[in-house]
Amino acid sequence: MAKKSSLHALTVAALALPGVLTSPAVAAEDNEASLQYGYYQEGERNTSGLANNLKPIHVDTLGSTGSLRLTDRIKLGFNYIQDTWAGATPITTAPLGLMIDGLTGASSHVNTGKNALVDKNFNPLKVDYKEVVDPATGQVSYPTVYTSSAQDKQPVHMMTSASPETRKQGNFSLGYEWDEAALTVGGGTSVERDYNSSFVSSNGRWDLNHKLTRLNAGMSYTNSDINAQRMSSAAGYIDYSRQSKSGDNAESPITGNRQDWAANIGLSQVLNKSALVETGLSVSHNEGYLSNPYKATTFIFKDPNQSHTIYPDNVFVAELTDALENRPKQRNQLTWDLRYVQHIAPVDAALHLDYRFFNDDWGIMAHTFAASWDQPLANGWSITPNIRYYSQSAADFYQPYFTFNQLKPVTSSGGIAYDQLPITHYSSDQRLSGYGVLSGGITVSKKFTKGIHLDAGFTYFNHAGGLKLGGGGEGSYADFDYYMVNAALTVNLAALSLGNQSNIDHAGHHQHHHSGHAPAGVMFDHMLPKAGDVMLGYRYMYGRQAGDMLHETSPVNDQTIAGQACAGGECTVAPTYMNMHMHMLDLMYAPTDWLTLMLMPQFVDMNMSMQSLAGISPVEVHKHATGGIGDTSAYALFKLFNNTSHHVHTAIGISAPTGDAAVQLTPGGHHGGVGGYIHYGMQLGSGTWDFKPSLTYTGQQDRWSWGAQLNGTVRMQNSNSSGYALGDVFQTSAWGSYSLLNWLSASLRGVYTVQGGIKNGFNGVHPTDATVDFANNYGGRYWDVGFGLNAMVPSGDLQGNRLSFEWLQPVSDDVNGYQLEREGALSATWSYAF
Partner 1 sequence: MFCYYMKYPSQFTKLFFLGITLLASGCTQVSPWERGTLAKPQMALDPRPVLNSLNAHVYGSREAASGGGSAGGGGCGCY
Within 219-278, the residues that bind partner 1 by CB under 8 A are 219-220, 222, 224, 226, 260, 262-264, 267-274, 276-278
In the chain, what is the greatest distance between 2 CA atoms, to the nearest angstrom? 121
Contact indicator for 715, 688 with CB cutoff of 8 Å = yes
Strand partners, 650: 638, 695
d(CA 222, CA 275): 36
CB of 330 vs partner 1, minimal distance in Å: 12
468 touches partner 1 by CB under 8 A: no
**What does the DSSP 8-state code read for residue 408?**
P
Q: Which of 459, 664, 709, 819 binds partner 1 (CB under 8 A)?
A: 459
Site string for partner 1, 87-106 (x = CB under 8 A): --x-----------------
Number of residues that bind partner 1 (CB under 8 A): 130
Q: Which of residues 196-215 bind partner 1 (CB under 8 A)?
A: 197-199, 201-203, 209-213
Which listed residue (174, 371, 438, 484) binds partner 1 by CB under 8 A?
484
Query: In sequence order, what are the residues at sequence separation of 6 or more whose Cβ sits closer than 8 angstroms to the Cβ of residue 24?
Result: 216, 266
Instruction: Compute the half-sphere exposure of residue 92: CA atoms within 13 Å on the CB side of its CA.
Output: 33
Nearer residue to partner 1 within complex by CB, 491 or 520: 491
Closest CA to 763 of 612, 648, 661: 661
- 8-state DSSP, 312: -
For partner 1, the closer of residues 19 and 138 by Cβ is 19
In 3D, which of 246, 291, 288, 233 has the Cα closest to residue 415?
Answer: 246
- 113 lines the binding site for partner 1 (CB under 8 A): no
In the bound complex, what is the minimum distance in angstroms from residue 684's beta carbon to partner 1?
A: 17
Q: For the chain, give me the number of helices (H) and strands (E)? A: 5, 45
Q: Is residue 586 close enough to count as binding partner 1 by CB under 8 A?
A: no
Segments in 292-404 forming alpha helices (H) = none
For the CB of residue 623, give the shortest distance to partner 1 in the complex, in Å.
16
- Is residue 95 classed as helix, strand or coil in its secondary structure? strand
Q: Identity (one letter) of the amino acid at 254?
A: I
Q: How many whole angstroms separate alpha carbon 186 and alpha carbon 171?
A: 7
Query: In the set 52, 69, 75, 85, which binds partner 1 (CB under 8 A)?
Result: 85
> Does the protein bind partner 1 through residue 427 (CB under 8 A)?
no
Cβ at position 351, least distance to partner 1 in Å: 9
Out of 69, 75, 109, 167, point to the residue binding partner 1 (CB under 8 A). 167
> Which residue among 50, 52, 56, 57 contacts partner 1 (CB under 8 A)?
57
Would you list the DSSP string of 788-830?
EEEEE--SSTTTT-EEEEEEEEEEEEEEEEEEEEEEEEEEEEE
Which parts of 325-384 interact with partner 1 (CB under 8 A)?
Answer: 332-337, 339, 341, 343, 345, 348-350, 352, 356, 358-366, 368, 374-376, 382, 384
Give the range of 56-64, 128-136, 586-594, 666-674 binding partner 1 by CB under 8 A. 56-64
Binding mask 729-768 for partner 1 (x = CB under 8 A): ----------------------------------------
Whichever of 331 and 551 has its CB closer to partner 1, that residue is 331
803 binds partner 1 (CB under 8 A): no
Residue 828 binds partner 1, judged by CB under 8 A: no
Closest CA to 641 of 711, 710, 698: 698
DSSP symbol at 320: E
Q: Note whether 511 binds partner 1 by CB under 8 A.
A: no
User: Nearer to partner 1 by C-beta: 32 or 784?
Assistant: 32
Q: How far apart, in whole angstroms, are the C-alpha atoms of residue 783 and residue 825?
A: 12
Site for partner 1 contains 63 (CB under 8 A):
yes
Task: CB nearer to partner 1: give 254 or 758.
Answer: 254
- Least separation in angstroms between residue 558's CB and partner 1 is 36
Distance of alpha carbon 289 from alpha carbon 248, whole angstroms: 18
Contacting residue, 28, 156, 504, 541, with partner 1 by CB under 8 A? 28
Cα 141–Cα 143–Cα 149 angle in degrees, nearest 5:
130
* Nearest to partner 1 of 293, 516 (CB atom): 293
Binding mask 278-317 toward partner 1 (x if CB under 8 A, else -) reads: xxxxx-x-------x-x-----------------------
The answer to whether residue 74 forms part of the interface with partner 1 (CB under 8 A) is no
Output 443 or 713, the one with its CB closest to partner 1.
443
Considering only 46, 169, 405, 611, the residue that binds partner 1 (CB under 8 A) is 169
771 in contact with partner 1 (CB under 8 A) = no
Write the secondary structure of 410-438 as one string of H (helix), E (strand) and C (coil). Answer: ECCCCCECHHHCCCCCEECCHHHCCEEEE
Within a 10 A sphere around the Cβ of 608, how many other Cβ atoms?
24
Q: Measuring CA to CA, how many Å separate 282 from each of 8, 73, 279, 358, 833?
A: 38, 28, 10, 10, 44
Upper half-sphere CA count for residue 80 (Cβ side, 13 Å): 7
C-alpha distances in Å from residue 349, one per residue of 10, 374, 653: 23, 6, 43
Nearer to partner 1, 259 or 776 (CB): 259
User: Could you tell me which stretch among 44-52, 61-69, 147-155, 749-757 binds partner 1 (CB under 8 A)?
Assistant: 61-69
| Closer to partner 1 by Cβ: residue 184 or 755 | 184
In whole angstroms, the minimum distance from the beta carbon of 12 to partner 1 comes to 8
* Angstrom distance (rounded) from CA 299 to CA 401: 6
- 348 vs 505, beta carbon nearer partner 1: 348
530 binds partner 1 (CB under 8 A): no
User: Measured between alpha carbons, how far is 678 from 700 in angstroms, rounded to an integer?
Assistant: 46
Between 334 and 652, whose beta carbon lies closer to partner 1? 334
CA atoms within 13 A on the CB side of 5: 2
In terms of CB distance, is 166 or 698 closer to partner 1? 166
Q: Least distance from C-beta 290 to partner 1, angstroms?
A: 11
Task: Name the 3-class secondary structure at 663.
Answer: coil
Please list, in sequence order, all residues whose beta carbon lies within 8 angstroms of the beta carbon of residue 95, skipping any fewer than 6 positions away. 123, 124, 152, 153, 154, 155, 156, 401
279-289 per-residue burial string, b: 16 or more CB within 10 A, e: under 16: ebebebebebb
Question: Least Å distance between CB 695 and partner 1?
Answer: 39
Piece in contact with partner 1 (CB under 8 A), picked from 135-143, 418-426, 457-465, 518-526: 457-465
| Strand duo 296-302 + 132-133: pairing | unpaired
The residue among 98 and 290 lying less far from partner 1, judged by its C-beta, is 290
